[in-house]
Structure 1
Amino acid sequence: MFDQFLWVVLPYIVLTIFIGGHIYRYQRDQFGWTSKSSELLEKKLLRVGSNLFHWGIIFVFFGHVMGLLIPVELYESMGVSEHQYHLIALIGGIPAGVAAAIGIIILCYRRISVRRLVATSSTGDWISLLLLTIVILTGISATFLNVDPKGFDYRTTIGPWLRGILTFRANAISMNSVPIWFKIHILAVLGIFAVWPFTRLVHVFSVPLRYLSRSYVIYRKRSPKNI
């Protein structure tokens, strides 16, 4: 029953909070739908840490999509063997994970070492930063512990479980053989999704696409006669 709760009930609770929370937040707090940039308080560490974290996490995200959402059968039909996939995953995943890890460590150090940031940080900032750190460090640890191509295969266990969640055919049995470090990583990810709507992480969905079609702001120089 405990496994059923962790890997079937809990994901849907988190998914409900994630979707409902964003709708509620957008309806009640549109002016707070921002990343609340702290660049004015400190720039040097932010420039390095933010770039490493964001670029690293983008590549990590697409790596997860390729590894978990795309079935093994599709790769096999394309002629990609298990060894080839594993090699590609390591070559692309390890640098991206290391970059994201270094970036989040720098951002954590920045957050706790700059007094003005400590004074202006909210509870949501600390919680999201802590969970992101756990997610990234457990993820990269799981990657290094699974370098052996004959080791644990997440594409035939976690992959089907995740696709089952998204298609409303969740099955906790798929998670029985998953190592503990992968389970901690997944639970930390669920934690991130649960708090996401109530933190500055909502800025991920704030891509200013309307700027592309917005009219230009025209500035005219005043004539000396009108001054």
Structure 2
Amino acid sequence: MSAAATIAWVVFPYVAMAVFVVGLFWRYRYDKFGWTTRSSELYEHALLRLGSPMFHFGILFVALGHFMGLLIPKSWTEAVGIGQDFYHVIATYLGSLAGLMTIVGLAILIYRRRKTGPVFLATTRTDKVMYVLLGMPILLGMWATVQNQILAGGHGYDYRETISPWLRSLFALQPQPELMTDVPYQFKLHIVAAFLLFLVWPFTRLVHAFSAPVQYSTRPLVVYRSRGGPSRGTRAPRRGWEPVAPPRERRRRSPTSTEL
């Protein structure tokens, strides 16, 4: 194997994964207050309610599809009765639908962030870079699927014979970069873009993907009290400004939101 192939399919993936793991640990250890999406729901919620579910559900199905196709060996799926024809239909067409949903949702969120003044002002340079690096592997993955799976006809390119065992060889610490030699370049670009995203992931708002509000239902209630009692000013309160009823305590949980 050439030095370039070794760097592309061995060195770079290991560097990206190492930075991903160590970066997440460092971010959680030293920047807990920054471990957030910096919610902007108060500024605009109509587009957020439309784009956020589409993106998050779409990317969830995309992730599940990648897990099944890349980390589960082909022999395992065939052993439980999932043949190549059935797998091709599920992976190609349902995967394309999930990818399209992700792209549309992401486009809505980007449009909202650009066109809503307060949201755009709250957008940092890191956010802008994150959106670019997030969109690249999604678009390249859709391109690779359409070019090599849909337009190619038949079963398309069987990446479970090359890309999947190559990726598993990395996790087994026995890298086999030679498996990537004849992989179509669209898939290669998709893979490089994906590892580049993992490389910067810990330093962006994407860290919220590893935060689940599991303590929300059991945490203490937040107590809200109205300001009762006599006026503190020197003037008597005008009619219409007096409390219409005795102050009451309202107990409810504080709202939460998840956005990108």
The TM-score with structure 1 as length reference comes to 0.91
**Which of 204, 210, 217 is matched with 2:221 structurally?**
217
**Which of 111, 123, 126 is matched with 1:124 structurally?**
126
User: What letter matches 1:16 in structure 2?
Assistant: A
Secondary structure of the residue aligned to 1:169 is: coil
Distance in 2 separating the partners of 1:111 and 1:56: 19
**Which of 16, 23, 26 is matched with 1:14 structurally?**
16
Contact conserved, 2:136 with 2:193, CA < 8 A, in 1?
A: yes
Residue 61 of structure 1 is matched in structure 2 by 63
Report Cα offsets for 1:51-104 as digits up to 9, x if no partner.
Answer: 111010000100111111100111121222211110121242121111001111
Greater relative contact order (CA < 8 Å, ≥ 6 in sequence):
1
Residue 182 of structure 2 is matched in structure 1 by 177
Structure 2 unaligned regions, length at least 5: 227-245, 248-260
User: What letter matches 2:182 in structure 1?
Assistant: S
Shift of 1:219: 5.2
Residue 199 of structure 2 is matched in structure 1 by 194
If you compute each CA radius of gyration, which structure gives the higher value, 1 or 2?
2
Distance in 2 separating the partners of 1:219 and 1:19: 38
Distance in 2 separating the partners of 1:47 and 1:76: 40
Shift of 1:164: 0.9
Distance in 1 separating the partners of 2:25 and 2:73: 31
Moved more, 52-61 or 42-51: 42-51
Q: Does 2:36 align with 1:31?
A: no
Distance in 1 separating the partners of 2:122 and 2:224: 38
Shift of 1:218: 7.4
**Structure with the largest fraction of helix:** 1
Aligned residues: 225
Secondary structure of the residue aligned to 2:156 is: coil
Shift of 1:117: 2.4
Residue 142 of structure 1 is matched in structure 2 by 144
Contact conserved, 2:166 with 2:176, CA < 8 A, in 1?
A: yes
Distance in 2 separating the partners of 1:60 and 1:218: 37
Distance in 2 separating the partners of 1:45 and 1:52: 11
